[in-house]
Structure 1
Amino acid sequence: MSTDQAVSPRMRAPKRRKHPSRMTFAPYMFLAPAIVLFLVFMLVPIVYSIWLSFQHYQLQGGGILGVRVQVFAGFANYIAVFQDPELLAGFGRLAIYGIIAVPVTLGGALLFALLLDVPAVRAKGFSRVAIFIPYAVPGVVAALLWGFMYLPGTSPFSYITKALGWGTIPFLDNPGLFGSLANIAVWSGIGFNMIIIYTSLRGIPAEIYESARLDGANEVQIAFRIKIPLVTPALILTGIFSLIGALQLYGEPTTLKPLTNAISQSWVPLMIIYRDAFITDDLPGAAALSVIIALGTVILSAVVLRITNRRSGGAS
């Protein structure tokens, strides 16, 4: 039998090579749904908001029968935004709220993560779920729950203080209102941030802890000298998340607004945007303020990230 006869027909058949265009086109087919969703629900609204922020409504024709048309206004809407005294006051309230909510949220999340990472702690799975559950509660529902606990007539805390002869606790009056709102954010946000930090802690090699314990370090020293420095990237990430969440404060004060006179329609910037867009029908002004807040959030997050990266790089 010759060599050609010994080789099977399958082995003699030439191998088909995949066409290069098919190989390069396949990834885009898988990415197409995500790209379409991003364009429709993210990029198009952003572009439309920027375009709308340079427009202005003008009544043409005069009288009652005039027609409202949209005309180019340049930077007039942006100038009006920066000249609005209510906006400056709203950012001031937002700053007070952020000074309370962001550090407490990060500190509480770091504390819980460090405690759960101690080897002697038991029921870690139950504890993680119990701390995380408040994050799963919708923001409006959480605000309503805490709102009833803040009202003097339904608050269990005020019931105790009244029984002791101290009167009711002014949760929904200034200046206690800032702490009450921050408490809702802290109660809801600690679990999510704790999971991120705890996951980062679990990624640290156990050999580092064993070496430190052999050198005589206790759990507190390990936490401050090893764990916290090594989870700095997670702390930066959660810090940026908390900062963005503070800048987007809207649901809590809007939900508590019917329960107190201390919250106005323009209490924070996002409430001003809602008022301009849906109450006073000033969509261009609301779009201009939205663009300013979005740019400010991106710039502030980038600055915080750059500063923390420089410090961590210098420390290393």
Structure 2
Amino acid sequence: MTTTAAAPPVVAPPRRKRSRIEQRGWLFVAPFAIVFALVFLAPLIYSLWLSLFRDQLVGGNAFVGFDNYIAAFTDPKFWDGFVRVLGFLVVQVPIMLLLALGAALAIDSARLRAKSFNRIIIFLPYAVPAVVAVLMWGYIYGDQFGLAGNINDLLGSTFLAPLSSQWIMLSIGNIVTWEFVGYNMLIFYSSLKTIPGDLYEAASIDGAGDWRTIFSIKLPALRGSLVIATIFSIIGSFQLFNEPNILKPLATNVISTYFTPNMYAYNLSFAGQQYNYAATVAIIMGVITAIIAYVVQLRGSRQEV
């Protein structure tokens, strides 16, 4: 009868050696931690601190607790801008992601020629600085001096009015879509290139056609990328600022100072000198954006499982 020898006990490393390893780890992390604290945590804490105060005629900058938040939640200007960007998100983001998805699938297709050229052409608008892109589209939209105005003069009508109140959100959505389709396309295309070739060979052997391959192989592989692109797009929609702010001189009567929450916070701070209330609006928008992005990420993770 044979007996099995007991496994030797696991000897823990000496406490002094373990502390040295931990110190080295903290030394490696320290540069990032310092920068993170200075550029993220410190401004966030300072904004929270500002939001708890208010400049008053009597007493100066006084502590008011959550009064600024109560005022923001009952502010019609804040909710007007919020509803506007929420509607912008619901309409623009799906259209942009569908266009980017279609472009990625087309470039990944074996039937498309000049893939590199098409990929660069679609991605090129993202390389254009946002200010330049908005100015360029502003000159196109101008009904007094731009392309829209020239077409109206040619037709003898005023039909084209991209900067009117009826069309301004569609015009801004067109600019944002033009800018970021290429960016999202590159995310989707990178995910498609990670799909093993064995799956395509197996699908070909089983007699799967192009559409079957897309729905059974490519789209499931893109689920994680779709979640990431959706989160980025949601954050970008709630941060809408450059496009309406640059177009404002061309559409003064249409784009107000509270057209979006970010514009509202910006004008409160730099034009109205209401730094405390501006910080409050910024924090509320940051919390709302984080919650919605987290919900999207959570639902996407559940679907992957």
Match of 1:169 in 2: 160
Match of 1:55 in 2: 53
Match of 1:207 in 2: 198
Map of 1:169-208 to 2, 5 A cutoff?
Answer: 169-208=160-199
Mark the CA change 1:158 to 1:221 in structure 2 (over 3 Å): closer, same or farther. Answer: farther
How much has 1:94 moved relative to structure 2?
1.0
Question: How many residues matched?
Answer: 289
Q: Is the 8 A contact 2:143 2:152 kept in 1?
A: no
Aligned alpha-carbon RMSD (Å): 1.9
Match of 1:93 in 2: 84
> Which of 245, 267, 282 is the equivalent residue of 1:290?
282
> Which of 270, 278, 296 is the equivalent residue of 1:278?
270
Q: Residue type matched to 2:269 in 1? A: A
Secondary structure of the residue that 2:70 maps to in structure 1? helix
Match of 2:231 in 1: 240
Q: Is the 8 A contact 1:152 1:168 kept in 2?
A: no
Mark the CA change 1:156 to 1:280 in structure 2 (over 3 Å): closer, same or farther. Answer: closer
How much has 1:72 moved relative to structure 2?
1.1
Matched, 1:265 2:263: no
Q: Residue type matched to 2:74 in 1? A: Q
Match of 2:61 in 1: 70
Q: Is the 8 A contact 1:55 1:71 kept in 2?
A: yes
- Counterpart CA distance in 1 for 2:161 and 2:128 is 25
- Counterpart CA distance in 2 for 1:166 and 1:206 is 56
Match of 1:15 in 2: none
- Please identify, of 250-259 and 18-27, the stretch whose mean Cα deviation from structure 2 is larger: 18-27
Match of 1:306 in 2: 298
How much has 1:299 moved relative to structure 2?
0.5
Map of 1:12-31 to 2, 5 A cutoff?
Answer: 21-31=19-29
Q: Is the 8 A contact 2:142 2:148 kept in 1?
A: no
Secondary structure of the residue that 1:131 maps to in structure 2? helix
How much has 1:148 moved relative to structure 2?
0.4
Match of 1:256 in 2: 247
- Counterpart CA distance in 1 for 2:53 and 2:157 is 55
Q: Residue type matched to 2:300 in 1? A: T
- Counterpart CA distance in 2 for 1:271 and 1:144 is 18
Q: Point out where structure 2 has 5 or more consecutive residues left out of the alignment.
A: 1-15
- Counterpart CA distance in 2 for 1:186 and 1:141 is 15
- Counterpart CA distance in 1 for 2:94 and 2:262 is 22
1:166-195 deviation line (CA, Å, top 9, x unaligned): 544110012211110001110111111111
Match of 1:81 in 2: 72
How much has 1:311 moved relative to structure 2?
3.5
Match of 1:33 in 2: 31
1:221-247 deviation line (CA, Å, top 9, x unaligned): 211222112211100100010011000
After the TM superposition, which parts of structure 1 deviate over 4 Å for at least 4 consecutive aligned residues?
Answer: 18-22
Q: Residue type matched to 2:236 in 1? A: G
> Which of 121, 132, 135 is the equivalent residue of 1:130?
121
Q: Is the 8 A contact 1:100 1:179 kept in 2?
A: no
- Counterpart CA distance in 1 for 2:40 and 2:243 is 25
Q: Residue type matched to 2:266 in 1? A: Y
Identity %, equivalent residues: 38
Secondary structure of the residue that 1:121 maps to in structure 2? coil
Q: Point out where structure 1 has 5 or more consecutive residues left out of the alignment.
A: 1-17, 61-67
Q: Residue type matched to 1:115 in 2? A: A
How much has 1:279 moved relative to structure 2?
1.3
Map of 1:133-144 to 2, 5 A cutoff?
Answer: 133-144=124-135
How much has 1:100 moved relative to structure 2?
2.4
Secondary structure of the residue that 1:56 maps to in structure 2? strand
- Counterpart CA distance in 2 for 1:215 and 1:228 is 18
How much has 1:202 moved relative to structure 2?
0.6
> Which of 191, 199, 210 is the equivalent residue of 1:219?
210
